[in-house]
Structure 1
Amino acid sequence: MFTAGAESLLHQARLEKTCTDLLQTTLCSPKCPEQLQLLCAAILRERSPSDGLSLSCDRIQSSQQLSLVASVLLAQGDRKEVRSVGQRAFRVLESRQPEGPSLRHLLPVVSKVTRLAPHTLHEDQTNLLSKRLVDWLRYASIQQGVAHTSGGFFSTPRARQPGPVTEVDGAVATDFFTVLSTGQHFTEDQWLNVQAFSMLRAWLLHSGPQGPSTPDADDKSELEGSTLSMLSATSTASHLLPPQERLREKAFEYCQRLVEQSTRRALRKGDADLQKACLVEAVLVLDVLCRQDPSFLYRTLSCLKALHVRLCGDTARARALLPIARFFLSHGEAAAVDSEAILQHLFSRVPCELFHSPMLAFEFICFCRDSLPLFGRNLDILKQSFPNLFKLLAWNSPPLTSEFVALLPWLVDAGTAVEMLHALLDLPCLTAALDLQLRLSPAASDRPLWDTSLKNPSCLEASRDPQFQALLQHLLRAKASGTVKRLAPLHQLLRPMASCARVVQCAEAVPTLLQAFFSAVTQVADGALTNQLALLLLERSDSLYQVAEYEARVHRVLSSQFLALCALHPSLVVELARELLEFVGSVSGVRSRGAMLASVAWAVGEYLSVSWDRRCTVGQTNRFFEALEALLFEVTQSRPSATLPKCPPQVIAVLMTTLTKLASRSQDLIPRVSLFLSKMRTLTQSPAPSSTHHEEDAGAIRTRATELLTLLKMPSVAQFVLTPSAEVAEPRYHRDANTALPLALRTVSRLVEKEAGLLPG
């Protein structure tokens, strides 16, 4: 009712007691205009909960006024008030006839009371509302309402005679009234019919045999199986059933009628949209009915099978496929129906064709998340369909990111983890490819779904080249293929689209998704998969789609996750020694890949040791030492240029520390490291204009070099501090002042103090 700014102001403002009392008096005044009462109720709701309210609905006679006061009281969140409002609403409901003119205002109140405090209603009240719902759903008038006229000379009773309601295609209705019946004007019981259907599913869940919850799957399957085996073609006479069972019977007839009405061709777009929404709700209600009373299952199956066949060729009504799939997931085993074919069609077609529909994308991901306990042996279909699900994410990443974070642990599988990581890193590229696909589509609508800020990207024609078609098809695949292709040429082709707003938004979501992926994959990864993932991180660190700031954000995640993989499987440093040496042998990406290079160097210094892997040899240690020494020399002795950018000081500090760690394990290397560290200290003290670092950075490097030099003067202490044994990680080494580690640290501190003269004043 209010704008966002007005709501914020109402929340921040503090109403005086006089103002609050005046709002309440106006709301309760029977002579006050309806619009003013609506405004007062809205303001009081926005200020809830409030201590200054003195409202009560006990003496209110008008059901419209009662609904407004009840909305304020229910917004307070007080359970006693909720119970009081519910009892008052039912007293009014009991005192009125089913065709009473003002019951329409009470149903929203009753529905909200049921949702907030489901156990406050008595059995007789539950039975009463169930009976009323039966009357409103099944026995509403099939004649249109009378138009309200102001009178006049030409107003005659003959001119105001109402006609019958019609179907959405214009045909005269021959069956009972439903929410899909149309007319110029509606009677009160027809409005109650619409409201009754809107609250039907929630009420069935409340008043059903299991209350708001559902029976266990095993019990349900056993119950359904035994019931189906005894079903007969006839059912108990409806009028002899208890109120709840009679309501379920009439709800079933109502939903069947809606399914039949959904086959009609609507004359107006608004009616067509209403058809889609009502079809979804009808299937959801049928699902509830079959869970509560399995005798409905036999009668529902044929209806929904035919409906599914019809909807498979109608993309405009694809939303209804989701509740149908959930229905067969829930009841397929009991009904001896294989839900695999239904799921295969759903996951292979809908995301491919309708990824650009935000509402459908959100509902599709919610369906996947909420149906996880029902997938069972069909969970592999979900896992294999992750490329298609990623299309929904790539196109709608901001609103779907949190849902995908919750879903990813179920999608991650040891067999597809490597392919999925590639897909996550290429997600912004996928967004650009989907944009390109829409632009090339011959069935594009008049209102384009792509980013209109990019009028005619230069890659539009080039993408038709057969050279790129295979890469585009791989990127746009529907299922996991088990293969990985290098998409660097495609990155270059789609580079003009990297500035599209949708691509930039998708790129911002990738780091969060990567964190969720690695949290899940570490739960299933063995040594071989860990090695594969580590290699992938090294490979992809310089092969990312060039979106603004995307590379830096992703590198921060990749570097931290590389260290996590090393901690999970320390032997990978020895097992991937050749690949790691190749990685550190290049300085072309020192600035862009600085975080990744620092992580690799730190992992080498930490885990290249016989204490972690007995296969570690002196030769390996020497090779890594020489490669890192050459890298450090090149990045510190050369002037920054376009081809050789300045190396971050953090990388230099890690490289120096790693060289010192390796030397402490192979003491023949100590003289070389000491000489190099001395040169580094001298280099950072030089005030020459060619210095490659600012004074603060140079001071940090100089301090680290001095500390490492001091440690190397006592090799045994250096090895103990830089390469501690596993038992040193125990808490007692950090708490007890008499143990070896604090003693070693105090020794080093004294040595550093002796060398203080070397530090700048």
Structure 2
Amino acid sequence: MALSMIDKLFQQAKNTTPEEIERLCNGILDAVYNPDQASELTVQLRQLYLVLHASQSEPSVPVQFILRLLAAVPLTDKNRIKECLLCRRILMELIPFHSDDSASQDGSDMKQTTTESSKLLLQALQGKELGCLSKHLAQAVCWLTSEGVDLDTQRRAFFFLVSISLLHSSQVSTDQVKTVSDQMSSWLMNASLCQAPIPYTFNPFKKDQSYPVTEVDGNPATNFFTVLNIGQYYTNDQLLNIYTFSMLYQWLSQVSRKTRTDNSIIDTSEENSQQFDKITLRKIFDSLVDRSIDYAFRVLDQCERKPKVPSDAELQIACLVETVNILDLVCQLDERHIPRVFQEVKRMYSKLSQDPANARIVIHVLQFTVNHCTALSYDASESFKIFFHKLLSRSFSNPAVAFETVLFIRNNLEFLCYETNVLSAYFPSILKILAWNPRSFVSDFCEIIPAMLSPATAMEIFHALLDLPCMTASLEVVDKVKVVDPTSTTSPIGVDHEPTNSADAFKSPLFRPMFNFFTRVEGGHGDTINRYRMIKSSWVSDTKTL
């Protein structure tokens, strides 16, 4: 529901007419001089910023309004900080920034370099029509690869280049892509294994001591540095290593797509174009792909360690998800790596696939399998069975698992429909997501449900859809009983005992088969229900059935 609301707001902002923008600007001008309308002013400024940010064409606003914004930006009134910041963001959307001087800096003046680099984000936001992207791209690459440039400048230049690859990939040349990729491969592999010194203490009579970073289990690190190495303070090269890993997938995904587009223009023959794509991609990303695989394998090894701090377990899960996505992408860029990468991913999957807590990771492993099972002649039916039969039935209530499962099914709907029996066999398990989140995934299931239908399953799916309220109530009862009384499955009440609430109905041998039917994980099981009225009365107190 939240996602659909956000999409609706963005669509409304995109469709805003010039007349509506002018009325909004006039309303802001009226409110800016009235202290009693401070809250209304903030709301209107936010609305205008959303409209300008979502607009696909250059907006037209009154000159007086721009002059008023320019006057508001330098203000330091502590009571109106929100308004000043909003005015600044709106100006970044409205006024093009042209600076020929910034593109001619050679990096020798550190103060000037820092000042100019702070404007890069503004350049990226304006778009190729308003900004001077071609001039600043060369300077950003220069800052990225030059020695002696401070961390903030390199970080801003790196973010700028990745942003341009996302927003205006056609502006980035092949040579620039290769240069940045080579620099990223260096940052991935050459970070220090020693922590940065404590910046708040200095003793001139004591020799500096460097302490190694540690693994998540507390042991000193002996291999190269990764995002999962722990330190109290990080050096600049370690921070660049972390930045590189966090943006590696986006960079590879966007610039490789741009490279394929350029090559398709050069050679219109499909077969020759595909061959040319592979050769070009290998030439550009050969170093980065190799380093990315080594880095990913190192992260997989680190995730097998038991974390010393429990909260690091969440970091391990996040890194595993990102690592599997990166390995999936590099195998798409260079198919020569598929066999050895698959062996590592399969080894990891065998250790994680039995724990419902790892359901998110398994989803991304399944995506890897779908993308490369043809090249490997691998039968993924067992992997699908483990996830949809065992893991999903226990983790469907997890919002992240539910979202990523629906996304996985939609992205691979044709493959799942024609190459597997997942949709026809495990539709009861998949429908639990809809039953538990009835408003969040309605539009998604409007596309998924037709793919589930077949002559053999149509009738059962029809009744399953009619029984969704019963499934929701049953799932809530099962969840409630397991939390309150974990031994409920082994201590049922007598047959003659009439249940007074849903928990007693769940324990009753008379109604237990009905609960099992409503919460089944596989189709083709169960029989006609003839005690619906009786069990319905026991659900009256359950919140999800009201």
Q: Write the mapping of 1:697-736 to structure 2, written as runs, cut at 5 A.
A: none
Note if 1:460 corresponds to 2:503. yes
Distance in 2 separating the partners of 1:457 and 1:360: 34
Q: CA deviation at 1:178?
A: 0.8
Equivalent of residue 178 in structure 1, options 209, 212, 226 = 226
Q: CA deviation at 1:406?
A: 2.6
Greater RCO, 1 or 2 (C-alpha within 8 Å, sep 6+): 2
Q: CA deviation at 1:187?
A: 0.9
Report if aligned partners of 1:168, 1:267 keep a CA contact under 8 Å in 2. Answer: yes
Identical pairs, percent: 25
Q: Write the mapping of 1:210-225 to structure 2, written as runs, cut at 5 A.
A: 211=259
Equivalent of residue 402 in structure 1, options 421, 433, 443 = 443
Report the counterpart of residue 167 of structure 2 in structure 1: 116
Which letter maps to 1:130? S
Report if aligned partners of 1:463, 1:493 keep a CA contact under 8 Å in 2. Answer: no
Which letter maps to 2:176? Q
Q: Write the mapping of 1:89-168 to structure 2, written as runs, cut at 5 A.
A: 90-93=140-143, 96-97=146-147, 100-102=150-152, 103-149=154-200, 155-156=203-204, 158=206, 161-168=209-216
Task: Name which one, 1 or 2, has greater alpha-carbon Rg.
Answer: 1
TM-score by length of 2: 0.75
Distance in 1 separating the partners of 2:296 and 2:455: 43
Q: Write the mapping of 1:427-466 to structure 2, written as runs, cut at 5 A.
A: 427-441=468-482, 458-466=501-509
Q: CA deviation at 1:443?
A: 8.8
Note if 1:55 corresponds to 2:97. yes
Note if 1:20 corresponds to 2:61. no
* Aligned residue pair count: 459
Distance in 2 separating the partners of 1:263 and 1:496: 46
Q: CA deviation at 1:374?
A: 3.5
Report if aligned partners of 2:140, 2:158 keep a CA contact under 8 Å in 1. Answer: no
Aligned partner of residue 341 in structure 2, secondary structure? helix
Equivalent of residue 513 in structure 2, options 470, 487, 492 = 470
Q: CA deviation at 1:496?
A: 5.1
Note if 1:9 corresponds to 2:57. no
Q: CA deviation at 1:43?
A: 4.4
Change (3 A) 1:74 1:390: same
Q: CA deviation at 1:429?
A: 1.8
Q: CA deviation at 1:5?
A: 9.0
Change (3 A) 1:100 1:482: same
| Residues 567-617 of structure 1: per-residue CA shift (max 9 Å, x gap) | xxxxxxxxxxxxxxxxxxxxxxxxxxxxxxxxxxxxxxxxxxxxxxxxxxx
Note if 1:44 corresponds to 2:88. yes
| Residues 248-302 of structure 1: per-residue CA shift (max 9 Å, x gap) | 0000101111111110111223321111011011111111111111111121121
Which letter maps to 1:17? I
| Residues 440-480 of structure 1: per-residue CA shift (max 9 Å, x gap) | 215989xxxxxxxxxx9822123211111111111111111
| Residues 174-209 of structure 1: per-residue CA shift (max 9 Å, x gap) | 111111111000011111111111111122123438
Q: CA deviation at 1:7?
A: 6.7
Post-superposition, which runs of at least 4 consecutive aligned residues in structure 1 deviate over 6 A? 4-7, 36-39, 212-215
Report if aligned partners of 1:340, 1:378 keep a CA contact under 8 Å in 2. Answer: no
Report the counterpart of residue 691 of structure 1 in structure 2: none
Q: Write the mapping of 1:358-757 to structure 2, written as runs, cut at 5 A.
A: 358-375=399-416, 377-441=418-482, 458-481=501-524, 484-486=527-529, 489-490=531-532, 492-495=534-537, 497-498=539-540, 500-503=542-545, 547=546
Mean alpha-carbon deviation: is it higher for 428-437 or for 78-87?
Answer: 78-87
Note if 1:87 corresponds to 2:137. yes
Q: CA deviation at 1:350?
A: 2.0
Distance in 2 separating the partners of 1:86 and 1:303: 41
Report if aligned partners of 1:322, 1:367 keep a CA contact under 8 Å in 2. Answer: yes
Distance in 1 separating the partners of 2:167 and 2:485: 46
Q: CA deviation at 1:74?
A: 3.5
Report if aligned partners of 1:63, 1:106 keep a CA contact under 8 Å in 2. Answer: no
Report if aligned partners of 2:124, 2:133 keep a CA contact under 8 Å in 1. Answer: no
Report the counterpart of residue 33 of structure 2 in structure 1: none
Q: Write the mapping of 1:276-355 to structure 2, written as runs, cut at 5 A.
A: 276-355=317-396
Report the counterpart of residue 253 of structure 1 in structure 2: 294
Distance in 2 separating the partners of 1:249 and 1:176: 15
| Residues 666-702 of structure 1: per-residue CA shift (max 9 Å, x gap) | xxxxxxxxxxxxxxxxxxxxxxxxxxxxxxxxxxxxx
Aligned partner of residue 151 in structure 2, secondary structure? coil
Q: CA deviation at 1:326?
A: 1.2
Report if aligned partners of 2:137, 2:161 keep a CA contact under 8 Å in 1. Answer: no
Change (3 A) 1:182 1:157: farther
Report if aligned partners of 1:177, 1:190 keep a CA contact under 8 Å in 2. Answer: yes
Which letter maps to 2:402? A
Equivalent of residue 199 in structure 1, options 219, 234, 247 = 247
RMSD between aligned residues: 3.6
Q: CA deviation at 1:158?
A: 3.6
Gaps of 5+ in 1: 27-31, 228-240, 446-455, 504-546, 548-761
Q: CA deviation at 1:425?
A: 1.6
Q: CA deviation at 1:416?
A: 1.4
Q: CA deviation at 1:89?
A: 5.2
Distance in 2 separating the partners of 1:409 and 1:156: 74
Which letter maps to 2:191? A
Q: CA deviation at 1:156?
A: 4.5
Report if aligned partners of 1:141, 1:177 keep a CA contact under 8 Å in 2. Answer: yes
Distance in 1 separating the partners of 2:198 and 2:145: 28
Report if aligned partners of 1:41, 1:72 keep a CA contact under 8 Å in 2. Answer: no
TM-score by length of 1: 0.55
